[in-house]
Amino acid sequence: MESHDVIIVGGGPTGLGAARRLADLDVRDVVVLEREPEAGGIPRHCGHLGFGWQSHLRIWTGPRFAAELRKSTSGLDIRTATAVLELHKDGQLRIQRNSGLGEMKARHVLIATGTRETPRAARLVGGSRPQGVMNTGALQQHVYVNNNKPFDRPVIIGSELVSFSALLTCRHLGIRPVAMLEENPQISAPRPGDLIARFVFGVPVRTSTKLIAIEGSKNVEAVEIERRGKRERIICDGVIFTGLFRPETALIPSGLPSKKFSSAGNVTGPLKTSGECWQQGILAAEDIVKRLA
């Protein structure tokens, strides 16, 4: 069985920040396991500006930020297309890679698996199951990675900061959302986000509005909403579910010994920026060095 001092599960800003700091602190036997084909995490798919200030005092696009993180860890043992299937309390991991299943073991495991948006099913939205329903991450892959325009006039569900990231992503290919819907009386993002949505992007923000159902046979045709006790339809051709982030903790069994395991970044909640995650990775690495001593 392959054994190491430290295994980091997740190659996003947290995991790469931790790996870089561990190397700087002369902990050389470190492996980063990343399930995606390329390290860098969610910023890889965010083609708009807004990344890098907290880590490098620069304003970069997400892909540029991710590239800088990969550059900073060049020469370190970063293994992509490798998914961790199980964690055991003795520090053993069961993994899946292109060559098949395998097992690894570490003196310490850092869990940096991040977070994910709440999907449609968990939001209890009724109606049909047409094409054109996705979360922000899927939208960003369509637009920035595949240069694909999945719809023309979607609705955006939610008003967190990531919802405005979805607006920027839509603008990249000329997608014009017909509305942003928020269940609460006020938007989740700081004001004047709603004014920016309306007057900069031309997208009305409807607060106190709940998505009830999605309509359409093959593709989305409309949504049914409820606002202050009244229901109505909005004609659209797509639905983007944004926000309501949940830490990606499915891999973590209960009762993990703190001597062998720690976690950092968005897997610990609440939601943090990519720069904050990078900083947490550095702090986690410094803590791991103390635990290994």
CATH code of the domain containing 56? 3.50.50.60
Residues 212-253: tens digit of each pLDDT = 999 999 999 999 999 989 999 999 999 999 999 999 998 887
Point out the domain boundary residue: 241, 264, 279.
241
Point out the domain boundary residue: 221, 241, 261.
241
**Comparing C-alpha atoms, which of 72, 55, 60 is closest to residue 11?**
72
What is the reported pLDDT for 258? 76
Q: Do residue 111 and residue 250 come from a single domain?
A: yes
- Rounded to the nearest integer, the mean pLDDT of the chain is 94
Half-sphere exposure of 134 (CA within 13 A, CB side): 19
pTM over 0.85: yes
> Rounded to the nearest 5°, which phi and psi values hold at 140?
-65, -35
Total domains in the chain come to 2
Q: Do residue 77 and residue 159 come from a single domain?
A: no
Q: Do residue 181 and residue 76 come from a single domain?
A: no
Q: Do residue 73 and residue 15 come from a single domain?
A: yes
Calculate helix-pair angle for 274-292, 13-24, nearest 10 degrees: 40
Q: Do residue 270 and residue 189 come from a single domain?
A: no
**Comparing C-alpha atoms, which of 126, 136, 145 is closest to residue 167?**
136
| Gap between the Cα atoms of 96 and 92, Å rounded | 14
Q: Do residue 139 and residue 154 come from a single domain?
A: yes
Q: Do residue 184 and residue 288 come from a single domain?
A: no
What is the reported pLDDT for 256? 78
Q: Do residue 216 and residue 74 come from a single domain?
A: no
Q: Do residue 124 and residue 222 come from a single domain?
A: yes
Q: Do residue 170 and residue 254 come from a single domain?
A: no
Q: Do residue 30 and residue 83 come from a single domain?
A: yes
Residues 168-215: tens digit of each pLDDT = 999 999 999 999 999 999 998 887 777 778 877 889 999 999 999 999
Which residues of the chain fall below pLDDT 50? none
Do residues 204 and 198 lie in contact, with contact meaning Cβ atoms separated by under 8 Å? yes
| Six-digit token string for 81 | 């297309």
Domain range holding 186? 120-241
What is the reported pLDDT for 185? 94
Q: Provide DSSP, 129-175.
A: --B-EEEHHHHHIIIIIT-----SSEEEE--SHHHHHHHHHHHHTT-
Q: Do residue 34 and residue 107 come from a single domain?
A: yes
